Amino acid sequence: MRPGPVALVTAAAALLLLPAGAYIQAVLDRNATMEFSDLPALFGAPLPREGLLGFVVEARPSNACRPIAAPPPGANGSVFIALVRRYDCDFDVKVLHVQQAGFGAAVVHNVDSEKLLNMVWNDERLREQIAIPAVFVGQRAAAFLRDTFSYARGAHVVLVPEYVFPLGYYLVPFTGVVGVIVAVMCTVLVSRTPGPFPGRAGTPGPHHTAWGHLGPSRAPRGRLGPAAPRGDAWAPPEPHGDAWRGSAGDEYEVCAICLDEYEEGDRLRVLPCAHAFHSRCVDPWLTRTRCTCPVCKQRVLPGAEEEEEEEEAAAAPEGDAGPPGAASERTPLLPPAPV
Quick one: pLDDT at residue 102?
Answer: 95
Q: Please report the beta strands in 21-119, taking only residues with DSSP state E, as ranges in sequence order.
A: 23-28, 32-37, 39-40, 52-58, 80-85, 105-109
CA distance 84 to 115: 16
In contact, 254 and 262? CB cutoff 8 Å: yes
What's the burial of 31, exposed, middle or buried (CB within 10 Å: 0-12/13-18/19+)? exposed
What are the boundaries of each domain within the chain? 14-160, 205-311+330-339
Report pLDDT digits (tens) over 34-91. Answer: 999 999 999 999 999 899 999 999 999 999 999 999 999 876 788 999 999 999 999 9
Task: Give the C-alpha distances (Å, rounded to integers) separating 61 from 69, 84, 121.
Answer: 8, 8, 21
In this structure, are strands 80-85 and 105-109 parallel, antiparallel, or unpaired?
A: parallel
pTM attached to this predicted model = 0.47
Which residues of the chain fall short of a pLDDT of 50?
1-3, 5-11, 13-19, 196-250, 319, 339
Q: Measured in whole angstroms, how far is the alpha carbon of residue 267 from the centre of its chain? A: 44
End-to-end CA distance of the chain: 54
Assigned CATH for 205-311+330-339: 3.30.40.10
Q: Which CATH architecture has domain 14-160?
A: 3-Layer(bba) Sandwich (3.50)
CA quadruple 261, 262, 263, 266: dihedral sign: positive
The predicted structure's pLDDT at residue 251: 59
What does the pLDDT read at residue 256? 84
* Pairing outcome for strands 32-37 and 23-28: antiparallel
